[in-house]
Amino acid sequence: MRPSTTPPAAGAGPGLVVLGIDPGLRATGWGVLALAGSGVSSAEREELTVLGYGAVTTDPAVPLAERLRRLSLGLREVIGRWQPMEVAVEEAFVAANKRVAIAMGEALGVALLAAAEAGLPVFEYSASEVKQAVTGYGRGSKEQVQEMLRLQLGLEAAPQPADAADALATALCHLMRRRAEARLAGAGSLLGGRA
């Protein structure tokens, strides 16, 4: 079983590489973004690159333990291929359906374990935080998220499947937060130097 992928972008340089994960038992979406340059000074230009995205899928007819193993193997393969420095995961939400909530929690556990086994720091974001960062509205639809990703990331088409788009959105949300932190730290050091 192999995760679906898109080809790597040409010219992806060094920088912060983030793996976004949208955990699900049927499909766990993943997306890898790289941010080169800090953007703190006007002389340094930031470059955001989509390295790849896709989904690790499982068959509902397969026993649960095997499905979780396949998710783990797929995520390990993604981590091995793209060598991210940080992982951003969409938190499991409280579903009205107890069975759905349990399945999401199991998939989230697999994602957290895969990141921990690789020694990667994990950052969790709620679905509304991710939508707010990408669409400017915390209750944006999946279609709005996909279209905003297409525009913000310069993609020819909206990312598919929706699970992969949610994973890319989670990675983008994390990079936006890291960018803001870097700018604040840079501004703080500039202000500190004047005193």
**Topology of the domain covering 16-194:** Nucleotidyltransferase; domain 5 (3.30.420)
136 pLDDT more than 80: yes
43 pLDDT more than 80: no
36 pLDDT more than 50: yes
Average pLDDT, the chain: 86
Q: Retrieve residue 194's tokens.
A: 């004047």
Identify the pLDDT of residue 106: 94
Contact 25, 107 (CB under 8 A): yes
Return the residue matching tokens 């797929």. 74
61 pLDDT more than 90: yes
Per domain, the residue ranges of the chain are 16-194
Of 122, 28, 18, 31, which is closest to residue 73 (Cα–Cα)? 28
By annotation, the residues acting in catalysis are 22, 90, 163
Helix, strand, coil shares, percent, the chain, to 5: 50, 20, 35
Of 123, 144, 119, which is closest to residue 134 (Cα–Cα)? 144
31 pLDDT more than 90: yes
Better-scored residue on pLDDT, 43 or 74: 74
156 pLDDT more than 80: yes
Better-scored residue on pLDDT, 125 or 6: 125
